[in-house]
Amino acid sequence: MTQLATAPRARSGGRQARRALRTAPKFDMLPGLTGKIPLCEVMDGAQVERIDNASMDILENVGVQFRDPIALEDWKKAGAKVEGELVYLDRGLVRELIKTIPSDFTYHARDPKKNVRLGGRHSIFVPMTGAPFLRDLDDVRRNPTLDDLAMFHKLSHMMPALHSSAHHIVEPYDHPISQRHLRITYSSMKHSDKTFMGMTTSPKNAEDVMDMCAILFGEEFMETHPVTTGNCNGNSPLVWDETMLGAMRAFCRRNQPVLCSPFVLGGANTPASVPATVAQLNAEALSALAYTQVIRKGAPAIYGHYLSTVSMKSGAPMAGTPEISLMNFMIGQMARYYGVPWRTSNTLGGAKTFDAQAGYESATTLQAVMHAGANYIWHSAGWNEAGMHCSTAKFIVDAEQCAMAYRMAEGPKWGDFDQALSAVPDVGPGGHYLGHPHTQENFQEAFFMPDMFDNNSIEQWVAEGSVEITERALNHARKLLSEYQEPTLDIAKNEELLDYIARREREIPAADELNQDY
Amino acid sequence: MTQLATAPRARSGGRQARRALRTAPKFDMLPGLTGKIPLCEVMDGAQVERIDNASMDILENVGVQFRDPIALEDWKKAGAKVEGELVYLDRGLVRELIKTIPSDFTYHARDPKKNVRLGGRHSIFVPMTGAPFLRDLDDVRRNPTLDDLAMFHKLSHMMPALHSSAHHIVEPYDHPISQRHLRITYSSMKHSDKTFMGMTTSPKNAEDVMDMCAILFGEEFMETHPVTTGNCNGNSPLVWDETMLGAMRAFCRRNQPVLCSPFVLGGANTPASVPATVAQLNAEALSALAYTQVIRKGAPAIYGHYLSTVSMKSGAPMAGTPEISLMNFMIGQMARYYGVPWRTSNTLGGAKTFDAQAGYESATTLQAVMHAGANYIWHSAGWNEAGMHCSTAKFIVDAEQCAMAYRMAEGPKWGDFDQALSAVPDVGPGGHYLGHPHTQENFQEAFFMPDMFDNNSIEQWVAEGSVEITERALNHARKLLSEYQEPTLDIAKNEELLDYIARREREIPAADELNQDY
């Protein structure tokens, strides 16, 4: 059990604690979620084994391409059959390797009170990353800067249901690409004391992130404590490339968890079948998960994926479709079958503006990943236009939606059931509860009141200026930013980080072509 | 088993059938849904019994007000303790009464191919009803007319996932309120051959609906076949009024099912607690369900509810909140515990326009009711502004969302798993599947492609005029209406219906104050 999982929750501490909670700043982070609702398991045991068996057949007979000489050498030493770049993985070897992946672990934050647990029923919400554009505080779509990135790190710090400030939520275009990972990492570390992600845009960049984490947390601490996470995308079908594998090694060697994420465009790079897509994705994820244990036995790792289906009319990736929900349910079952924490993507969508399409896509995805029981719920705020832009307005609304989903996943609260029931005879047929002491004492705890939804009458809404959700959310973002307080970063560590960045920026040519973004 | 449940599905008939399906008009109705994914049951057996016990305590000790002399007489005869308007229901009596409610039944449509089954895992989508305003084909908000109502009945007829044309989707303001139920019922019957709902705005109006159904289906047929459904709202807490009870009697006596729907504004007319709200709602629903069996033993009846939570800031009802999802899960469990089909509300929300708020609210509600396993999924298209308007654009999008949820609820399809897997070695690492025969043969069946979501690049989207979802949906509505074909209504029956309406309109004063709308 982690510190957080056993820490007393303010809300269970009676009247005074509840009152304190009501008046507390609303941007206190929610503890990592411990889900309590039953999960949506759409496969029976035989079907889970059918997927497992199909994936193992793929690994044994079709093989996986590791486009990386070091990985190929590693695999040979580990006893795999290697032919050219193709690695054939025996199911016995795969099972032996993945069994040393921890089934859950604590992900450490700069502020230990914000440590979170991952695995089993423990989940976290992480904002979107990687957007080449943003829609800013005026809803204008443009290329982002380091200041924009800092803004999103500040908002991540303040939104209660976000458990991470991630990394390059938006790509800071005002800084050379080859040096960008340094500024991104520093921005994550400085503007928030929640967990954050590490860049994996190249093996060298990943090493820089590891070095910066060592400054912040201590080299030795990292050896036994995950303090960041890196994402490594696969090239489906069945390919892992040198950039991703090199970054994976940088993280695994320092005991830092990697998200092993096949990149699925269902129907384009997988078969046109939900179970067969899951079987291929599962084979891909297993091959990378197994490799993490070749790199370092016992290193934490996360079963990942990026999941879309493809429109056969336009070739465009889709989100919020029923098959994506079903595949999430199934992948959750597979990850639990192997006992490995798993990552999914939240609030995906292809809408160009923050319109109703964006709302449907995001909410459908959010609900699916909650019922699927995902642990590392990435892209939980801001994603729009297939990830091409991060919307400031949507960031705020998504983050509140996560808080609502969090509440749902906790299940009904029975603590005051008898007390609440005793209000029924007090009020009696035809009465009302608003003035009853139990109502007055408990309403805020009982029913979530979303700030971003307007539920007033149209007359009142018009009288208040007909403010739609985009404007409401942007107003809220401005208010949050005006109240932002930077969490104090140790002065010595801060200087050491800045020195490191300065040194590396002297060493890395600003136009280094080896440092391509992914 | 109904005719539909055993009828061969075109999609399971191999290559030729699949091709036929692809070229078939997209507005063929989907058969009633038979859900296959596991349901989200957030209570264990002991908690279900705890709710049951609390509800029975309320019925025995707090009592329910039946503001209706006939009902009070009926209850006395049935053996209940009656004091003034308060009826105290012994749990033995309640259990005895509700056990004759059919656990599932077939709901008959004018076209028998469109009959649908209700109960157990059998579900239907029914559009919204009761809106005093619409947003029309130009997205203008105004009072509706009979022509507007006809438009929604036509769209209901053409949207595949809608299994009903309901009744007063919008209120036709161009017709006297006292006579409106006649024209509404006729419009439902004439413009669609799917199932429809019957007005319950007064006992007399309900009798008129029964008479019109007798013309359409035959008096004798109705005695053994449900051909319409009526909704009776309770006044929470614990009150049923004369209008609703009179309408209930009109339906039950003719063996037509009534939705027994407590009207919950959580926190305002129920305790500020999720389980206690469910306990009160359950008591209310049970009291009405029991009364249906006093009226006519064995008559079909539906466990209903309207469910919102109330903002304690503004007093406004909210939708898409986590507690509404949880209460849906719990009510589903209670209805299944009693073996009674149950109704919920879909796509609720308080947005004033078809904006992102509307999308989040609707999708969250839709996903919750699917995981809750609701049978009669009402308000499934068009609802916005807390039901104050029916949005034409949202109607189209919601109906497509229902088709997507339908697909999700069917679960993954394993039929072609081995065939799909055989494409993996064909394509191999780094290849792509778009040209593979299995993909070409199966893509449309494998992955849902929503027409209302735009997933093109922003460049292409701009080049095509930056069309947002509202405009896309309205264009689609116009196209559907241009292709609408009225399902032929038997000439003799049509004349008899028109004669009936003409006679009743002579009999009912246009300004009859007794015929107030609800």
SS3 labels along B417-458 = HHHHHCHHHHHCCCCCCCCCHHHHHHHHHHCCCCCCCCCCCH
Q: In residues, how long is chain B?
A: 518
Which residues of chain B does A333 touch, with a Cβ-Cβ cutoff of 8 Å? Answer: none
Q: Is A429 on the interface with B (CB under 8 A)?
A: yes
- Reply yes or no on whether the pLDDT at B222 is more than 90: yes
pLDDT in the model for residue B14: 52
Contact check, Cβ <8 Å, A356/B455: no
Contact check, Cβ <8 Å, B322/A280: no
pLDDT in the model for residue A315: 84
Query: Could you tell me which residues are beta bridge partners of residue A261?
Result: A233
What CA–CA distance (Å, rounded) separates B340 from A32? 38
The label of the residue with tokens 């989508």 reads B125
Rg of chain B over CA atoms, in angstroms?
23
Strand ordering across the sheet containing A196-198: A196-198, A228-233, A258-261, A301-303
Q: Is A430 on the interface with B (CB under 8 A)?
A: yes
Q: Which B residues in the span 236-265 are in contact with A, Cβ-Cβ below 8 Å?
A: 237-239
Token digits for B394? 């949202």
Q: In residues, how long is chain A?
A: 518
pLDDT in the model for residue A17: 52
Q: pLDDT band for position A149 (50/70/90)?
A: very high
What CA–CA distance (Å, rounded) separates B361 from B309? 13
Q: pLDDT band for position A316 (50/70/90)?
A: confident
pLDDT tens per residue across span B285-299: 999 999 999 999 999
- Reply yes or no on whether the pLDDT at B8 is more than 50: no
Max alpha carbon distance in chain B (Å)? 79
pLDDT tens per residue across span B318-332: 999 999 999 999 999
Q: Is A453 on the interface with B (CB under 8 A)?
A: yes
DSSP B62: I
- What b/e string do you get for B426-443 counting C-beta neighbours within 10 Å, with b at 16 or more? ebebebebbebebbebbb
Contact check, Cβ <8 Å, A356/B329: no
Token digits for A351? 């809408």
- Reply yes or no on whether the pLDDT at A2 is more than 70: no
What CA–CA distance (Å, rounded) separates B311 from B293? 37
Choose, out of B277, B392, B419, B433, the residue to mutate when testing the contact with A (most A CBs < 10 Å): B433
Residues 6+ apart with CB under 8 A from B302: B118, B229, B257, B258, B259, B260, B340, B341, B342, B343, B375, B376
pLDDT in the model for residue B248: 98
The full DSSP string for B180-215 is: HHHHHHHHHHHH--SBEEE--SSHHHHHHHHHHHHH
Q: Is A17 on the interface with B (CB under 8 A)?
A: no
Q: Residue B471: how many CB atoms within 10 A of its CB?
A: 13
Nearest CA-CA distance, residue A421 and chain B, Å: 6
Strand ordering across the sheet containing B343-345: B33-34, B122-125, B376-378, B343-345
Contact check, Cβ <8 Å, B449/A313: yes
Q: Is A109 on the interface with B (CB under 8 A)?
A: no
Choose, out of B354, B453, B461, the residue to mutate when testing the contact with A (most A CBs < 10 Å): B453
Q: pLDDT band for position B414 (50/70/90)?
A: very high
Among A60-64, A94-98, A464-468, B57-61, the minimum mean pLDDT is found in A464-468
What's the Cα-to-Cα distance from B242 to each of A79, B203, B248, B249, rounded to whole Å?
80, 9, 10, 10
Say which amino acid occupies A436. H
pLDDT tens per residue across span B478-506: 999 999 999 999 999 999 999 999 999 99
Nearest to B407 among A275, A322, A433 (CB): A322
Which residues of chain B does A273 touch, with a Cβ-Cβ cutoff of 8 Å? Answer: 413, 416-417, 420-421, 438, 442, 446
Nearest to A447 among B272, B357, B458 (CB): B272
The label of the residue with tokens 């029981």 reads A373
Q: Residue B121: how many CB atoms within 10 A of its CB?
A: 16
pLDDT tens per residue across span A8-54: 333 444 555 555 555 455 789 999 999 999 999 999 999 999 999 99
Contact check, Cβ <8 Å, B430/A314: no
10 Å CB burial of residue A485 (0-12, 13-18, 19+) is exposed
- Which of B231, B209, B260, B232 lies closest to B101 in space, CA to CA? B260
Nearest CA-CA distance, residue A350 and chain B, Å: 5
Which residues of chain A does B44 touch, with a Cβ-Cβ cutoff of 8 Å? Answer: none
Which residues of chain B does A412 touch, with a Cβ-Cβ cutoff of 8 Å? Answer: 42-43, 274-275, 326, 330
Residues 6+ apart with CB under 8 A from A55: A279, A280, A282, A283, A286
pLDDT tens per residue across span B94-118: 999 999 999 999 999 999 999 999 9
Query: Could you tell me which residues are beta bridge partners of residue A269?
Result: none
- Which of B420, B434, B433, B427 lies closest to A63 in space, CA to CA? B427
What's the Cα-to-Cα distance from B25 to each of B115, B158, B474, rounded to whole Å?
20, 10, 19
Rg of chain A over CA atoms, in angstroms?
23
Return mean pLDDT, chain B: 94
Token digits for B38? 């596991």
Chain B residue with the nearest C-alpha to that of A315? B456
Query: Could you tell me which residues are beta bridge partners of residue B346?
Result: none
Q: Residue B444: how many CB atoms within 10 A of its CB?
A: 18
Nearest to B424 among A271, A438, A441 (CB): A271
What CA–CA distance (Å, rounded) separates A387 from A378? 12
pLDDT tens per residue across span B70-90: 999 999 999 999 999 999 999
Pairing of strands B383-384, B389-391: antiparallel
What CA–CA distance (Å, rounded) separates A423 from A428? 8
Q: Is A458 on the interface with B (CB under 8 A)?
A: yes
Distance of CA B221 to the CA centre of its chain: 23
Chain B residue with the nearest C-alpha to that of A234? B430
- Reply yes or no on whether the pLDDT at A514 is more than 50: no
- Positive or negative torsion for Cα A355, A356, A361, A367: positive
Is B54 within 8 Å of B229 (Cβ atoms)? no
10 Å CB burial of residue B70 (0-12, 13-18, 19+) is middle
Contact check, Cβ <8 Å, A421/B271: yes
pLDDT tens per residue across span A358-376: 999 999 999 999 999 999 9
Choose, out of A453, A461, A470, the residue to mutate when testing the contact with B (most B CBs < 10 Å): A453
- What b/e string do you get for A37-46 counting C-beta neighbours within 10 Å, with b at 16 or more? bbbbbbbeee
Nearest CA-CA distance, residue A56 and chain B, Å: 12
Q: Is B8 on the interface with A (CB under 8 A)?
A: no
What CA–CA distance (Å, rounded) separates B145 from B149? 6
- Which of A11, A15, A2 lies closest to A30 in space, CA to CA? A11
Return mean pLDDT, chain A: 94
Query: What's the CATH number for A33-411+450-518?
Result: 3.20.20.480
pTM: 0.94
Q: What φ, ψ does residue B297 adopt, rounded to 5°?
A: -60, 130
Which residues of chain B does A38 touch, with a Cβ-Cβ cutoff of 8 Å? Answer: 38, 40-42
Is B241 within 8 Å of B235 (Cβ atoms)? yes
DSSP A108: P
pLDDT tens per residue across span B240-280: 999 999 999 999 999 999 999 999 999 999 999 999 999 99
Token digits for B328? 């849906």
10 Å CB burial of residue B140 (0-12, 13-18, 19+) is exposed
pLDDT in the model for residue B316: 87
Classify B395 in phi/psi space as left (phi over 0), alpha (psi -120 to 50) or beta.
alpha
Nearest to B42 among A37, A271, A420 (CB): A37
- What b/e string do you get for A239-268 counting C-beta neighbours within 10 Å, with b at 16 or more? bbbebbbbbbbbbbebbbbbbbbbbbbbbb
Among A97-101, A385-389, B312-316, B341-345, the minimum mean pLDDT is found in B312-316
Contact check, Cβ <8 Å, B270/A433: yes
pLDDT in the model for residue A16: 57
Strand ordering across the sheet containing A263-266: A263-266, A306-310, A317-318
Chain A residue with the nearest C-alpha to that of B389? A458
What's the Cα-to-Cα distance from B348 to each of A320, B161, B309, B365, B390, rounded to whole Å?
19, 17, 12, 7, 11
Q: Residue A34: how many CB atoms within 10 A of its CB?
A: 15
Q: pLDDT band for position B344 (50/70/90)?
A: very high
Q: pLDDT band for position A489 (50/70/90)?
A: very high
Say which amino acid occupies B273. S
Q: Is A15 on the interface with B (CB under 8 A)?
A: no
Residue A311 or B62, more confident: B62
What CA–CA distance (Å, rounded) separates B203 from B243? 6
Residue A10 or A267, more confident: A267
Among A113-117, A193-197, A310-314, B225-229, the minimum mean pLDDT is found in A310-314
SS3 B136: coil
Nearest to A272 among B309, B412, B446 (CB): B446
Distance of CA A461 to the CA centre of its chain: 35
pLDDT in the model for residue B25: 54
Is B88 within 8 Å of B78 (Cβ atoms)? no
**How many helices (H) and strands (E) in chain A?**
20, 21
Which residues of chain A does B59 touch, with a Cβ-Cβ cutoff of 8 Å? Answer: none
Nearest CA-CA distance, residue B124 and chain A, Å: 17
Which residues of chain A does B452 touch, with a Cβ-Cβ cutoff of 8 Å? Answer: 357
SS3 A134: strand
